[in-house]
Structure 1
Amino acid sequence: MAESGSSAGGGETLLFLTDDQLRKGIEAMFFAYRGFTADPDRILEDKGYGRAHHRAIHFINRSPGTTVNNLLSILGVTKQSLNRVLRTLIDDGLVRSDVGTRDKRERHLYLTETGEVLERELSNAQRKRMRAAFRQAGPEAVVGFRQVLEAMMDSDMRRHYAKLTETG
């Protein structure tokens, strides 16, 4: 077994990961996620929304015209839960739901201008935090971070992610 040692950049060469190193990674991810969601959470709370609303807004923005079924697949929530979130966003004028042209049972989702404004505010807060972290960590860390995240995705999520990254 290979041992872990220090590299010149201050990171560890992790050919063999100890439980302690993995625990530290898990805890770092937990606290990073709290930081990553803190700014949008404050914005959402002021408007009476939560993270489920944020996720819906984000993915509707990324794929205008996405169907409710596609959004269900991406978010991994129950239909009842998503319908509650969408109903609020539609009633508040942030999302528009159009009947499908080929299949009248389908609902295609789009952000309204108001929804786009909120999406930009939420994304700008997260981009600011992520940009600062990436600048501090450096380009190699950015590539490595993305590789780690992609490797942690289940195959279904990796397919969704690949579709999104293909579109820009």
Structure 2
Amino acid sequence: MGPYQPELEAFPKTKFGNKMRQFNPDWYKPPYSGWLEYNIKDDAAFCLCCYLFKNEFESRGNAGRAFANDGPARLKSHVGEVNSTQNKCFNRMLDFSNQRQSIRASLSNLNEKDKSDYRIRLNASINVVRFILRNGLSFRGHDESEESEYKGFFLELLEFHGNNHSDV
């Protein structure tokens, strides 16, 4: 898994101002190699990790913005400082692709009692989801915070189920 980085014989040229510009495949090399993605249809480069995870850190909704206008300068400024949104997104993408942090790996490290407890909680969640789907109900509430009186069907039913079954 990683960014889509097609190797074309010649990338399309586009006129910006009075200059003809095109994507440079050398940008696939470090330091941009882990996240720079090129879209042939749009003839534009994007940041894969920001596309996937930016909305978790910012609510501006511009994660899909391309580096079309100012190329290398925009690439450098996009990365930013160590604690920038792009670096947070890149680290989230690395964590996502790290199989040692997967659920399967986590479960294999548990003892039998913990595995059994996990299965009981998982089955309770699945049963609640089935009930909600069968009845065409919405999963989420408007406010799911701890202080909220009503958190939505999923959390409310799961809490109800847990209160009535001590093993959950």
TM-score, length-normalised on structure 1?
0.25
Greater RCO (Cα-Cα under 8 Å, separation 6 or more): 1
TM-score, length-normalised on structure 2?
0.25
